[in-house]
Amino acid sequence: MYEYAVAWEWLSFAARWFHVITAIAWIGSSFYFIALDLGLVKRPHLPAGVYGEEWQVHGGGFYHVQKYLVAPAEMPEHLTWFKYESYFTWLSGFLMLCVVYYGGADLFLIDRTVMELAPWQAILISLASLAIGWIIYDQLCKSPIGNNTWGLIALLFIVLVAMAWGYTEVFTGRAAFLHLGAFTATIMSANVFFIIIPNQKIVVADLIAGRTPDPKYGVIAKQRSLHNNYLTLPVIFFMLSNHYPLAFATAFNWVIAALVFLMGVTIRHWFNTTHARKGRPTWSWLVTVLLFIVIIWLSTVPKVLTGEAETSMTPMEQKFASNAHFGAAKDVILARCSMCHAAEPVWEAISFTPKSVKLETDREIAAHAREIYIQAGRSHAMPPGNVTAISPEERRLLMAWYESTISE
C-alpha cells in the first residue's frame, strides 16, 4: 500500500498550492483596499454620499474609484463581493492542518517531552483552541472595551501572547507556531464570515427595500478590518516559520512570537501612514529592525531538554522498528543521514538539526519512516546533492523497509 504514502504526499502538495493561491488573492485584495481607503481624497463637488475618490493607473488604463460611506442612494446594478478569497484560504488552510498535523500528529503535533497526549486529545485541543479563540475575541470586540480602539488592540495582544505561550506548553514548537498562525487567521476569516459580510448584506437589503442603512454596520466592519490589517503579516510569518527551526524550536519561541506581532504593527504602520499621505515614519522601520535583532538574539538561547529524551514508541513506530528490514535500513541511515540529522550535526556546513528531523535513535528513525521513504526512497531529495553517496541498492532497501512494514 505504498500508493497511500504517495497519494498523501500529493494531497499535501495540492492543498498547499491551493492555500497559497487563495491567500495571495485574499491578502492582495485586502492590501489593495487598505491602501485605496487610506488614499481617498475628499474634493468639493463629489456626488451626494461620496466620501472620497482616487485616480489610479494600472494595466493600460486609468481607474476612477469613488467610495460611498455607508452606501449609495440606491442599489447599483452590478456589485462585486470580496469574500471567497477569505473563505477558501481558511478552508484550504484547515485541510492542510488536517493532512499535516492531524494526519501526522505523532510526529508534528505531539512532543512527548512537552506533554504526553494521544493523537485524538491533541487534535481536540487544537480544534477547541481555534473555536474558543474566536469566541473570546468576538466578545471582547462587542464589550465596552471595544469602543477604545487601542485599548482593545493592547488587550488582543495580551490574548495572543498568552496563546503563544499556551501552545508551546502543549504542542511541538513547530505546531505551536503553526497554531498561533491558524488561531489568528481563524479570527481574521471569521471577521469576514460572521461580521463584515453579514453587515454588508444588511446594508444591501436596506438599499433594495428603499430604507436608509444604519451607519453603525460600517463602523463595526471597519474595526474588524483594522484588526485584520495588523494581523496579516504575523500570520504569514507563522505559516512560513515551520521551515526555520531557530524561530520555533528554541527556548524563547513564545517571546519571539510576541515580538513578531509587534513587528506586524510597526511594519503596517509605515505603509498605512504612507498610503494616507501623512509622511514616512522612518522610526517604525528602526523599531522593526531592532525587534528583529532581538528575535535573532533570543533564538541563540538553546532549548534545554526537560523531559526524558527517549520516550516509548507508539504502536506504529514499534511496527516500523520490528520489521525484518529495519536493521539494514537503520545502517543506511546512520551511514548516510545521521551526520546531518543529529541533535549536534557533525557535517561541517550544518550547524543545527535540519528541520528538527533527528535520525539517530531507533525511535527517531521509526517515527520518520514515511518522510524517509518520500525524501530518500521515492524521490532523491535526500541526501542533498547525494553528498553522502547513497547507492541505488541502499535506496531500494529504505523503500523495502517502508513498503513491507505498511503491508504487514
Q: How many angstroms separate the Cα of 140 from the Cα of each of 143, 219, 325? A: 5, 16, 57
What is the C-alpha to C-alpha distance for residues 85 and 341, in angstroms, rounded to an integer?
39
State yes or no: residue 337 binds ligand HEC (CB under 6 A).
yes
> Measured from the CB of residue 93, what is the shortest distance to ligand HEC in angstroms?
18
> Measured from the CB of residue 35, what is the shortest distance to ligand HEC in angstroms?
34
What is the C-alpha to C-alpha distance for residues 174 and 357, in angstroms, rounded to an integer?
12
> Measured from the CB of residue 366, what is the shortest distance to ligand HEC in angstroms?
13
What is the C-alpha to C-alpha distance for residues 326 and 318, in angstroms, rounded to an integer?
11
Nearest to 254 by CA among 177, 181, 171, 153: 177
> Measured from the CB of residue 314, what is the shortest distance to ligand HEC in angstroms?
18
Q: Binding residue for ligand HEC (CB under 6 A) from 16, 67, 355, 378?
A: 355
337 contacts 359 by C-beta, under 8 angstroms: yes
> Measured from the CB of residue 370, what is the shortest distance to ligand HEC in angstroms?
9
Q: Which is nearer to ligand HEC, 195 or 239 (CB)?
A: 239
> Measured from the CB of residue 240, what is the shortest distance to ligand HEC in angstroms?
12
What's the grid cell of residue 393?
A: 541498492
Q: How many angstroms separate the Cα of 249 from the Cα of each of 112, 179, 234? A: 14, 14, 17
State yes or no: residue 375 binds ligand HEC (CB under 6 A).
yes
- Scanning 13-21, 83-91, 150-158, 354-362 for contacts with ligand HEC by CB under 6 A, the matching segment is 354-362
Q: Which is nearer to ligand HEC, 310 or 331 (CB)?
A: 331
State yes or no: residue 19 binds ligand HEC (CB under 6 A).
no
Q: Binding residue for ligand HEC (CB under 6 A) from 8, 82, 347, 352?
A: 347
Q: Binding residue for ligand HEC (CB under 6 A) from 118, 127, 205, 387?
A: 387
Q: Count CB atoms within 10 A of the CB of residue 244.
A: 14
406 contacts 2 by C-beta, under 8 angstroms: yes
What's the grid cell of residue 5?
A: 504514502
State yes or no: residue 382 binds ligand HEC (CB under 6 A).
yes
What is the C-alpha to C-alpha distance for residues 407 and 2, in angstroms, rounded to an integer?
8
Q: Is 319 left (phi over 0), alpha (psi -120 to 50) or beta?
A: alpha
Cis upstream peptide for 383 (omega within 30°): yes
180, HSE (Cβ side, Cα atoms, 13 Å): 38
Q: Binding residue for ligand HEC (CB under 6 A) from 100, 376, 399, 406?
A: 376
Nearest to 266 by CA among 246, 280, 296, 286: 286
Q: Binding residue for ligand HEC (CB under 6 A) from 383, 401, 402, 406?
A: 383
Nearest to 295 by CA among 262, 321, 325: 262
What is the C-alpha to C-alpha distance for residues 171 and 117, in angstroms, rounded to an integer?
9
Q: Which is nearer to ligand HEC, 243 or 277 (CB)?
A: 243
The binding track of 107-126 with respect to ligand HEC, each residue x by CB under 6 A or -, is --------------------
> Measured from the CB of residue 339, what is the shortest distance to ligand HEC in angstroms?
6
State yes or no: residue 390 binds ligand HEC (CB under 6 A).
yes
State yes or no: residue 267 binds ligand HEC (CB under 6 A).
no
Scan for cell 505559516, then name that residue. Answer: 239
> Measured from the CB of residue 349, what is the shortest distance to ligand HEC in angstroms?
7
**For ligand HEC, how many residues bind (rule: CB under 6 A)?**
23
> Measured from the CB of residue 395, what is the shortest distance to ligand HEC in angstroms?
8
Q: Which is nearer to ligand HEC, 268 or 395 (CB)?
A: 395
360 contacts 338 by C-beta, under 8 angstroms: yes
State yes or no: residue 243 binds ligand HEC (CB under 6 A).
yes
State yes or no: residue 368 binds ligand HEC (CB under 6 A).
yes
Q: Which is nearer to ligand HEC, 77 or 348 (CB)?
A: 348
State yes or no: residue 357 binds ligand HEC (CB under 6 A).
yes
State yes or no: residue 340 binds ligand HEC (CB under 6 A).
yes
Q: Count CB atoms within 10 A of the CB of residue 403.
A: 17
**Which residues here bind ligand HEC, judged by CB under 6 A?**
243, 333, 336-337, 339-341, 347, 350, 354-355, 357, 368, 371-372, 375-376, 382-384, 387-388, 390
